[in-house]
Each structure stands twice: as structure tokens, then as C-alpha cells.
Amino acid sequence: MWEQIFGAANLLAMIAWAVLILAPRRESVMRALFFGPVLLLALGYATGLTLVMTGVVPTDGGADFSTIAGVRSIFASDPGVTIGWVHYLTFDLFVGLWIARNADAHGLGTWKGRLIQAPILFFTFAAGPFGLALYITVRAIFLRRASAHLIPT
């Protein structure tokens, strides 16, 4: 069962990321991604976490977030790994949506901007915080250059 949940969450996230990176950046698409895959993944995570924390679904060593050993024991079980992975998928997709909206709002929504966004969004999908750090850096450089053209010298 946990293997199927893991696979379904992965598939849902991959489809959402493909849409985010490749589809036209319409408000309806962005809302559909937010209220569709992001919400479904978040609800799946909340459900799984509740089941583990209440003991309905046992993990090998119990649910304990206060020690490394406790967290290790959670992730040593299929439910723990699946719930943890869905956590990553949910937050990375949410951050990807924020990056896309923020980049568009800061002038990176043109086709050239979308080419800049694509690798950033890929890195956010593959390695969450790395992609976020990359975007913050690119945005700082882009805004500095853009503002330099607006300020009279």
C-alpha cells in the first residue's frame, strides 16, 4: 500500500512540475496547481502524519521528532519514508509556484525569463532549498541590473 501511495504522490508531483515549467503561465493554471496537486499532497501528508502520530499506523520505533534516533526510526519504516517524501514534494511544489509567480512579477515572465526560470524550477523540484537559493541569487542580480537602468547616472 505505501509503495502505491509513494508512486501516486510522485506521479502527481511530476505532472504538476511539468505543467508549471512548460504550460502557459495563466492565472487559471496557477490556481489549479495550487488548489489541485499542492492541496492534495498537503492533505495526504496531514492524513499520513496523523495516522502515524496517533499510532493507527505504527512505525518501527514509534513517532518521536525530538531526537535524531526518533526521527531515524520514523524514516526506517515505509509509512515514515512515504510521509516524509510527500512533505518534500508538497513544500518543493509550493516553493516552485511561489518562484514562478514572483519571477513573473519581477519581469522574468517573458519567453527569455521562462528560459531562466526553467532550470531554477528544475533545481527546486530536484533539491528544494538549492533551487530556492538559486532563484534568490538570480533575482537579486536581475533586479540590481534592472534598477541600474532606471536610476539616472
Distance between start and end Cα atoms, the chain: 64
Q: Which amino acid is at 3?
A: E
pLDDT tens-digit map of 44-89: 999 998 988 888 887 776 667 788 887 888 888 899 899 999 999 9
What pLDDT does 22 receive? 94
Chain mean position to CA 42: 11
Measured in residues, the chain has a length of: 153
pTM beyond cutoff 0.85: yes
